Amino acid sequence: MYGPGPGAGLGAGPSTTGGPERALDPVLEHLLRNVRSRHVRQHFARTPAVEYTQLRTATIQAATFNVAGKKPPPGLRLDEWLGAGPAAGGMKGRWPQGAEGGSSGGAAGAGGGSGSGSNGPDILAVGFVEIVPLNAGNVMGVWGTAQVDAWDRCLAVYLNGEEWAAERYGPSAAAVASQAAAAAAAATALLETKWQGGGNTAPDGGAATAPNGNTPNGAVNGGGGGGTSGSDEEYVQVASKQLVGVYLSVWVRRRLLPAVRGVQVTTVATGFGGYLGNKGAVAARLRLYDSSLVFVASHLTAGDAEGDELRRNADVHDILRRAVFVSAPDGGGGAASMTAASAALISASLGPDVRAAIRAGRWEPLLAADQLSRERAAGRVFQGWHEGRVTFPPTYKFKAGTNTYNGDDMPASGSAGSLQAAESAAVAPAAAAAEDAESSSAASAGPGSTADPEKHKRRTPAWCDRVLWWTKHRGPDATGGSQRPGTSGSSDAGGGGDGGVVGSRLRQLAYWRGELTVSDHKPVAAGFAAEVVSYDRRRIEGLLEAGMRAVDRMQESLRPRVTVEPVVLDAGEWVALGRPQPLQLRITNTGSVEALFHFIPPPQEPSPSLTGRGGKFGLDDETPPLPPWLEAQPAEGVVQPGQSCEVVLTVLVEGGGPGTAAQLLFKSGSLDCILILRIEDSGDKFITIGGRYRQSFVGTSLEDLSRLGNRSVLPPAEAAALAERLGLGQLQPQLQQLQEGGGAHTHGGADDDDDDGAVVPPKEVLALVSALTANSAAALRVPGILADSAALVLAREGYDTGAATAAAAAAVGQAAQLRVQDGEEVPAAAAAMQPTGREAQRALLRLLEPLRLILDAGGLVPVSADPHDVAALLLLWCRQLPYPLIPASVADAAAAAPPTSPADAVALLRRHCGVMQLAVVSELLRLLRAALAPDLVDCNGLTAPRLAAVAAAWWMPPLGAGSAAGAVNGLRALLEMLLSDGNAAAAAAAAD
């Protein structure tokens, strides 16, 4: 039988509000299941249980009787077993003085236990063994219920009186079959309906209201159902369950019903094969207030052969393992085994095991040989369980109808019912023998029976009928003090027990043997004072409210407090290509904890794809946190309390593959955006960026330049204003002329196609090519033109051309490669000498700004312009396109299948390049071929392989790791082939 306790999982030991968390018992966890914040629950778990827990005292009586398959004889009174019944004056004479009923400090009130002056226990759990004969018909078939009805009626008479029992069970001689079982089942159903998880018990222990509006007192009547509402002192059968010969009946005082809920029963069969019901256990679980109680009636394997004790031990382990209750709606312990309850009591019928007869009246020598005591002491069974001190004679085996042990002529005790008499009783000598449990159940001794067939057999007296208990220990924090010392009648001295006080939860008050003579066994009973837990719901709500406020304060104190200044940044209305515009941002941590920051992308529309962007949690691994024209340094970091961090946001619009100049054309150059700066565990900060980019033909796509036609990329007035802000005042006269003349380009754009309909390159490209070929190609006579122009422009302004060329070499990956052409060794690293790196391009953009602004405003290349500046700007324009002038696929195709003729080379270009790309490539090839004219190469020192390498470096981006082997050499060979045949260029220009 399980007794009360603080609940499964409640941690032991002292606890303070700031101390370690305790594991809460399942009932309390169920109460807190809807508290949203785990931090609030954890805060509550650190609260001493004494602040929200009330301890209520209830008295419990557990009893066991092996009735050997017999019905109670007419007029049988159970007083000699259970004590003077409540209807006849209560438990006086059986329990210690002051223990009758409940204590004055017990569970009083409508839902309380017995108050002072009440008689009898608050809960009575009786386990019957061999309540039906253990024959094959009962074990294998459907067992009868006549004996169950009869013994339940005896309990009803004992608890509530003959008149009450007759009203509900009928006259004693004509009990209706199965009436008691049906009534008990109805009572259990009503209990589960009205008190299982319904929350009907008032938090203060007051009367609860059933869902139908009636009080629970009127819902279930004593005896398990029927009739009208009775007195609060009556008992109600709340659980009953039979497993062949094992029957458990649990009764509770009516006034305690509002505090009872979650009634459940289960059985475990351990008979033949481990699953027949001739041996096994019946268990019932219920919640009393907020403590789980489990009562178990068991019948273990009999036998005195060597090793039979192992079978009995296995039965116990099997019962404890398999007796599992399903989850209760109110959380009362959840789906768990018996030891998940607060406390438990088990009544067992055991096989005999004593081999020496002791004729003296002291039981200690006999108990020292008791098998149960030995097995428990060795830790082989019932570990953690307890048994009170045995002060009564052995309970088996008697001649039915007498107080004489089988085979003896001497009564076993002096006077029935008295503990003192039991202690002084003597046992007649008996030889060692074993019980045949099955044969004893088949006998039917009683008045008028035949002669006892075992009259001449001497049986060794043994304690076969026992009551043990188990409870969870409770720490001082739940009671405000330590465990109480044991009381009289609760020690285990001489009996191998463990003391009567177990965690101040279940205290045994008495342990005795009854003197009924119905069976060859004597019944046994024990009384307990149980301290059960009752949680104060109102107090718990108050503590949760306080916990919520405390958690809010704690989280607020742990939340980083950050200020960001300024939150509005303006890059200005004159952002130029390649000109970085730094903006300062200060992040200050005014809190007490460190602040982690980083930029996050703006919210995106959720995508149905698995790799989509957006969603509630911003699961976006595609969108960058910042616009491509904005760079943050640092982009993430940690700011310590009281410190600040300077973040530089650099606005830089560039062309090329990763550039954004072409994208901004569709936004009219607007840079307006909102950045999201995430402060972890705090709120996001929003920073507004403003500004406008002034477009340039450099960085703009071929298609957009073609659509402009003769219109300038930048109005002359805007170009003049931009030049003023960039410190290029020397351009004002030329730009002023453009404003007055409306532009000076003479080369048509896309809307001025040739008469044959061929597409022509953008006007700015034509202007640069025209400047290089004007005046009999005077500019192309300059040494190193095109091949060395970019490097010379950088060197003239003091730029480290060595670093630039090294960076370009690493990017192109052509260093130290050689190629043999016409018997002349030409360094394939010629392309690596081109300053095509990102930093070099930025420097070229700044150095070539005067010339670029004139072309942006629609002007022509000034006659005074340096040829190397013109050539460098033309090459830079090719590299600043948003996509490569010649795709990487051309190089791969040339490496896979090298063209064998200029016609093959042209066909390859046409397969991989667009119309505008072909038009520009044709114009640039015409320029390169012009630079290789025999009368010019003597001046400029150029060769076709060298120019091919230069063109490949500027027209095509660095190849990736997946490119074909020899792709760069293949592209250079293709370009050399096109440069060597003038007709090839014409064919390329004819592409439509």
- Is the confidence at residue 723, as pLDDT, over 80? yes
**Of the candidates 413, 461, 455, 459, the residue with the CA atom closest to the CA atom of residue 433:** 459
Q: What is the CA angle 103-107-109, rounded to 5?
A: 115
User: Region 130-157: what's the mean pLDDT?
Assistant: 78
Kindly report, residue by residue over 936-988, the tens digit of the pLDDT: 999 999 998 899 889 888 987 776 655 666 677 777 888 888 887 655 444 54
The pLDDT-based confidence of 48 (bands split at 50, 70, 90) is confident
Task: Look at 984 and 827; give whichever has higher pLDDT.
Answer: 984
Range name among 72-81, 253-262, 361-370, 885-894 with the lowest pLDDT average: 361-370
pLDDT at position 141, please? 60
pLDDT value at position 610? 43
- Per the model's pLDDT, the better-predicted residue between 392 and 968 turns out to be 392
End-to-end CA distance of the chain: 98
Q: Is the pTM of this model over 0.75?
A: no
Tokens encoding 240: 């009953």
Would you say residue 449 has pLDDT above 80?
no
User: Is the per-residue pLDDT at 437 higher than 50?
Assistant: no
Phi, psi of 964 (to 5 degrees): -65, 150
> In this model, does residue 791 exceed pLDDT 80?
yes
| pLDDT, tens only, 65-74 | 999 888 899 8
Q: Return the minimum-mean-pLDDT range out of 59-63, 398-402, 418-422.
A: 418-422
Q: 390 near 346, Cβ under 8 Å?
A: no
Mapping DSSP to helix (H, G, I), strand (E, B) and coil, where does residue 962 land?
Answer: coil
Where is pLDDT greater, at 898 or 688?
Answer: 688
Please give the pLDDT value at position 165: 86
Tell me whether strands 685-690 and 568-570 are parallel, antiparallel or unpaired: parallel
Q: Which of 43-52, 296-305, 847-856, 965-974 has the highest mean pLDDT?
A: 847-856
Q: Is the pLDDT of residue 882 over 60?
A: yes
250 vs 123: CA distance, rounded Å: 7
- For range 899-923, the mean pLDDT: 89
pLDDT of 817 > 60? The answer is no
The pLDDT assigned to 786 comes to: 93
Token representation of residue 76? 């049988």
What is the reported pLDDT for 866? 94
Reported as a single tens digit per residue, the pLDDT across 189-208 is 444 433 333 333 333 333 33
- Cα separation, 380 vs 383, in Å, equals 7
Neighbour count for residue 133 (Cβ, 10 Å): 21
DSSP string over 26-38: HHHHHHTTT-S-H
List pLDDT tens digits, range 212-269.
333 333 333 334 433 334 677 899 999 999 888 899 999 999 999 999 988 989 988 8
Angle of helix 982-989 versus helix 967-979 axis, rounded to 10: 100
What is the Cα–Cα distance from 186 to 192, expressed in whole angstroms?
A: 10
Degrees, nearest 5: CA angle 836-837-843:
90
* Alpha-carbon separation of residue 414 from 155, 360, 392 (angstroms): 26, 13, 11
Q: How far is CA 27 from CA 7, 239, 527, 532, in A?
A: 7, 21, 26, 13
**C-beta of residue 527 within 8 angstroms of C-beta of residue 60:** yes
Q: Which of 933, 792, 774, 977 is nearest to 860 (CA)?
A: 774
In 338-423, where do the E strands start and end? 343-349
Q: Which helix (H) or strand (E) holds 991?
A: none
680: nearest Cα among 565, 613, 593, 621: 593
- The pLDDT confidence band at residue 88, using thresholds 50, 70 and 90, is low
The pLDDT tens digits for 542-596 are 998 998 898 888 877 878 899 999 999 999 999 999 999 999 999 999 988 899 9
Q: What is the reported pLDDT for 220?
A: 35
Query: Which residue type does 976 have?
Result: E
Which pLDDT value is given to residue 198? 35
Taking alpha carbons only, the member of 551, 530, 483 closest to residue 47 is 551
Alpha helices in 393-532 (DSSP H): 419-424, 437-442
pLDDT over 90 at 401, yes or no: no
pLDDT tens figures, 614-636: 455 555 556 888 998 999 999 99
Long-range contacts from 930-935, C-beta under 8 angstroms, 24+ separation? 930/773, 930/777, 930/780, 931/777, 931/780, 931/785, 931/786, 932/979, 933/777, 933/780
Do 714 and 699 touch, CB atoms closer than 8 A? no
Phi and psi at residue 547, to the nearest 5°: -65, -40
Q: Tell me: pLDDT of 814 over 70.
A: no
**Which residues sit opposite 630 in a β-bridge?**
651
Q: 218-222, 545-549, 645-649, 837-841 — which one is most confidently predicted on average?
A: 645-649
Tell me: the pLDDT tens digits for 512-544? 999 998 999 999 999 999 988 888 889 988 998
Q: Could you give the percent of the chain with pLDDT greater than 70?
A: 65
pLDDT in tens, 758-773: 788 999 999 999 999 9
For every residue of 501-555, DSSP letters joined together read: EETTTEEEEEEEE----SSSB--EEEEEEEEEEEE-HHHHHHHHHHHHHHHHHHH
For residue 392, what are its two tokens?
């009564």
Q: H helices within 813-960, ranges in order?
A: 838-847, 849-856, 867-879, 888-896, 902-912, 915-931, 934-940, 944-955
Percent of the chain at pLDDT above 90?
29
More confident call, 433 vs 806: 806
Where is average pLDDT lowest: 89-98, 379-388, 449-458?
449-458
Q: Residue 495 above 80 pLDDT?
A: no
Domains present along the chain, CATH in parentheses: 26-50+537-557 (no CATH), 562-603+624-690 (2.60.40.10), 702-731+760-813+825-981 (1.10.555.10)
Q: Which of 150-159, 297-306, 373-382 has the highest mean pLDDT?
A: 150-159
Largest CA distance in the chain: 149
Which pLDDT value is given to residue 102? 43
Residue 186 sits at the vertex; the CA angle it makes with 183 and 190, to the nearest 5 degrees, is: 140
Question: How many residues would you count in the chain?
Answer: 992
Taking the C-alpha atoms of residue 337 and residue 327, their distance in angstroms, rounded to an integer, is 11
Q: Report CA-CA distances (Å) from 379 to 123, 359, 373, 791.
A: 31, 30, 10, 92
Average pLDDT over the chain, rounded to whole? 73
User: CB-based contacts of 750: which residues, under 8 Å, 6+ apart?
Assistant: 706, 707, 709, 759, 760
Both tokens of 544, joined, read 């949760």
pLDDT class of 905 with cuts at 50, 70, 90 = confident
**What tokens does 408 get?**
């003896």
pLDDT average, residue stretch 91-96: 55
